[in-house]
Amino acid sequence: MAGYAIIKLGGKQFVVREGEKLLVDRLALDENKTFKPDVIFAGGDGKAEVAPKGQPVTAKVLGHVQGKKIRIGKYRRRTGYRRHTGYRSKLTQIEIESIGAKRATATAKKETADEKPKRATATKAKAKEET
């Protein structure tokens, strides 16, 4: 399992960790849907990989929200020219569920495979001692 990853969403890059929640530009996904963003870099645990193939990042859409109100004012002196406008960004809140899940399950399978032959050899050794 990687410690952190750099993902790319909407032309921006984000440094993320498992369980982290963040706001990104509005995504065309429904709430409670999971997706896999592009992974640029994965690091942590003393290892680093650029554009890793086997380490997908899984994210879940928590909801769609609006950002903080931004006020814009234009002014030109001595002419009476004043214009005011503003906007609120449309954002999506996401949560990072896992980083490198496939690699973690693969190592877990290898560990269980390594344990099984050891048990079998131990039982064979006991059978030889009894005879």
Residue 117 within a domain: no
- In sequence order, what are the residues at sequence separation of 6 or more whose Cβ sits closer than 8 angstroms to the Cβ of residue 81? 74, 75
User: H helices of 36-100, where?
Assistant: none
Task: Reply yes or no on whether the pLDDT at 108 is more than 70.
Answer: no
Residue 107 within a domain: no
pLDDT tens digits for range 60-86: 999 999 999 999 999 999 999 999 999
Residue 38 within a domain: yes
Residue 34 within a domain: yes
Residue 121 within a domain: no
Residue 27 within a domain: yes
Q: Contact 18/97 with Cβ under 8 angstroms?
A: yes
Range of the domain at 45: 4-65+91-99
Distance between CA atoms of residues 85 and 90, nearest Å: 17
Domain count, the chain: 1
Q: What is the value of pTM for the model shown?
A: 0.65
Q: What is the pLDDT of residue 105?
A: 46
Residue 115 within a domain: no
Q: What is the pLDDT of residue 3?
A: 84
Region 38-56: mean pLDDT is 82
Task: Reply yes or no on whether the pLDDT at 120 is more than 80.
Answer: no
Task: Reply yes or no on whether the pLDDT at 125 is more than 90.
Answer: no
